[in-house]
Amino acid sequence: MTANEPLLRAENVIVEYGTKRNPNRVLHEVSLEVGAGECVGLVGESGSGKSTLGKAVLGLVPVAGGKITFDGRDITHLKGQARRDLASDIQVVFQDPYGSLNPKMTVGEILSEPLSTAGTDRATARGIVGEMLERVSMPASVIDRYPSEFSGGQRQRIAIARALVRKPRLIICDEPVSALDLTTQATVLDLLIDLQRETGVSYLFVSHDLGVVRSICHRVAVMYRGNLVEVGDGDAVTRSPQHPYSQRLLAASPVADPILQAARRDEWLALRERQAASA
């Protein structure tokens, strides 16, 4: 990878569901880049296509058109062992901390599995797992306990540890805090920021909440109906967006202050009326 080349590049990516005769296009020639050590937020409402782009990068959905490159290498249609080998560089943290961890496996087994797949012996893997748990502020003593013994926030820390255990260069964070309460959200976001500073890992951070991405993302891309409608500096997009849809997203973001929340609702209603009148 050259100094000016992004770590991840999606170029005119098209994803379609359904059949060849009756395809449902969910991504319309989407182009996006993530640099080394950068956090890029991908924001939009449910059904906008943001999670689909993350799945396309991970090889979980087929790409009908365009190209995805990682470190200059075309990974668009990787399959089999080549796709499995890529797992050492690209990992994922899913939305649901309750469904993403195998309830029949101990924490140690969950975190050791990616290492065992890579050929790491059991004793070495156990030592790495203990260190990784401490890195995410979990005591190494939890290694023999089961996911059901932990809160949602603790489970998400375990999921983050699993994603980091093979030292990836990119993590797809697919709504990683949306299932958590506000206090736990803040704690997990702070952890992700600290880990990025320590390791230099890049994030593609998928969220529906502009308020969440404001605290962590360097750049933000807004998706609407399978299209990117606005891309820019994280602070600028989340505080004074330019596209009408981005403005509606900001106005719809909840805030703790009831007076400000009421003003936001009035703003959102006014935006909707103006946009309906100009349609």
Helix (H, G, I), strand (E, B) or coil at 51: helix
Handedness of CA 242, 245, 248, 254 (dihedral sign): negative
> pLDDT of 165-212, one tens digit each?
999 999 999 999 888 888 888 899 999 999 999 999 999 999 988 888
Q: Report the pLDDT value the prediction gives residue 118, as an integer from 0 to 100.
A: 83
Provide the pLDDT for residue 267. Answer: 63
Which band of pLDDT confidence, cut at 50, 70 and 90, is reported for residue 270? Answer: low
- pLDDT score at 3: 54
Is 258 domain-assigned?
yes
Q: Give residue 252's domain range.
A: 243-279
Rounded CA gap, 220 and 213, in Å?
8
Total number of domains constituting the chain: 1
Q: Torsions phi, psi of 94, nearest 5? A: -85, 170
Average pLDDT, the chain: 88
Kindly state whether residue 248 falls inside one of the protein's structural domains: yes
For the cut 90, the answer to whether the pLDDT of residue 32 exceeds it is: yes
Q: Which of 22-36, 146-160, 183-197, 258-272 shows the lowest per-residue confidence on average (mean pLDDT)?
A: 258-272
CA nearest 1: which of 135, 117, 169, 166? 169
Residue 214 lies in a domain: no
| Domain contains 116 | no
Query: Phi and psi of 231, rounded to 5°?
Result: -135, 135
Q: What is the pLDDT of residue 276?
A: 62
pLDDT digits (tens, 9 = 90+) for 78-96: 999 999 889 899 999 998 8
- Within a domain: 265: yes
Of the listed ranges 9-23, 218-232, 243-257, the one predicted with least confidence: 243-257
Say which range, 31-35, 181-185, 260-264, has the weakest mean pLDDT.
260-264
Instruction: Show the tokens assigned to 278.
Output: 């100009």
- Domain assignment of residue 103, yes or no: no
72, part of any domain = no
The verdict on residue 250 lying in a domain is yes
Task: List, in sequence order, the alpha helices (H) in 86-181.
Answer: 107-117, 122-135, 152-164
